[in-house]
Amino acid sequence: MASGPRIGHAAAGDERGNAMADMKKRLLDWIEEDRGELQGFFSEFVATPSPNPPGDTRAAVAHIRRFLDEHGLAHRVIDPEPMFPNVVASLDGGRDGRHLVLNGHVDVFPAGDEGWSHGGPWSGRVADGAVWGRGSSDMKCGTSASIFAFMYLSRIGEHLGGKLTLTCVSDEETFGPWGARYLMEHHPEVHGDCCLNGEPSSPFSIRFGEKGPWWVTFHVTTEGAHGAYTHAGESASLTAMRFCRDLEAAVDVIEVPPPHNIGRALEEARDAVDRAMGPGAHGIVQKATCNIGVIEAGVKVNVAPGSARIEADIRLPVGCDKETVAKAVDAVLARYPQIEMEEQNYMAPSWCDPYGEMVGILQDNVEALAGFRPVPIVGLGGTDARLWRYRGIGGYVYGPSPTGMGQRDEHVPLDDFFHVVKSHALSAYDYLKAA
């Protein structure tokens, strides 16, 4: 008699499992049937310039809105700054449950026209099995995946629990205030219980955290002199170069122990970090780094300049606070009374549980699709996912390889593109179905 309930539960569990498998097969079948439409959307998306600066995304947002309208998907535009519009759409499931947010940005890095192999930065050309152009990797592939996942799940909304929200935002590349930051501060309906983002991560890794950028400007003021009279006054350019060397050395020695279970995850991800972000990446994940992005000085070859400007990008590892790095910077500045510092921007490092539920869901789906399990890692660059983590909400990043990101010939292989689309659609379904 005792075996009866167990058999009944097993049968019910098998039935639910079969229904879920059927639904996921339906999602995959739709994606395969629509390959031409999805590829065309992605290609045209890349071909619609949205460089930041200046950050004008109106044409790219219009491209997104046309797609949503064609598929009967209600949405709204939130544009506190009209040049930087954001698209938000929501879908309620057939019963109560959790709230998943799909987030991607529309703006991209600027690009020069020279040296591109496939028609320039805004061609969006499909060639050699890839889509080419600025923003293909960062992050119009991932944003497209969010849009398609939302579209396909809208067809089976009655089978989902909870709520699904799509946020296609502007103003991300410069950490600006008019995109995801504005939504998070003024529209709490986009907070959700988990955020899935398609920034470049490589298909072999899932980003659960990232280093924090601290952008600072240093102003150098000296007497200057005639270029032949080097004894007559200090050169601001030479002082700037000495300062930059000292600053880099002071920041480079800062290393902090990772908090909570991050150390275990990073050790397990040693090879995956280097695979995702290049050899040597693992060696700097838990170190502060300093990049001197801009040095400006001088008006003429035979004049020792009396002023110079330095812009530095300092990255803080997970678990490191700004005060620790500022103390090291102040120690260097104390040796250079002719230099003053001005802060331009700061975003704290962010992280969430490297073994959270969404990580397992993504790993299971990627393994079923491609035969490997992506490893949770900390990213070196920043994403909007940090804004969810700051509020204690899991923010996970799974996207294409960062092939040529910010460089000439940025591109995404079509196999990677469709893999990311499938991974996001299936994982969004699993997260909401499990609620």
Tell me the pLDDT tens digit for each residue of 216-254. 999 999 999 999 999 999 999 999 999 999 999 999 999
Give the pLDDT confidence score for residue 435 in this predicted structure: 58
Q: What domains are defined for the chain?
A: 10-210+349-433 (3.40.630.10), 212-259+281-346 (3.30.70.360)
159-204: pLDDT as tens digits = 999 999 999 999 999 888 999 999 999 999 999 999 999 999 999 9
pTM exceeds 0.95: no
Signed CA dihedral, 101, 395, 186, 78: sign only: negative
Give the pLDDT confidence score for residue 258 in this predicted structure: 92
Give the pLDDT confidence score for residue 14 in this predicted structure: 62
11-37: pLDDT as tens digits = 445 655 676 789 999 999 999 999 999
Question: Chain-wide mean pLDDT for the chain?
Answer: 94
CA distance 363 to 377: 13
CA distance 365 to 360: 9
Q: What letter would DSSP give residue 155? A: T
Give the pLDDT confidence score for residue 248 in this predicted structure: 98
At residue 318, φ and ψ (nearest 5 deg) are -55, 130
266-312: pLDDT as tens digits = 999 999 999 888 899 999 999 999 999 999 999 999 999 999 999 99
Give the pLDDT confidence score for residue 16 in this predicted structure: 59
54-112: pLDDT as tens digits = 999 999 999 999 999 999 999 999 999 999 999 999 999 999 999 999 999 999 999 98
Give the pLDDT confidence score for residue 13 in this predicted structure: 53
Give the pLDDT confidence score for residue 7 in this predicted structure: 40
Under a CB-based contact definition with an 8 Å cutoff, are residues 211 and 202 in contact? no
Provide mean pLDDT across the span 106-129.
95
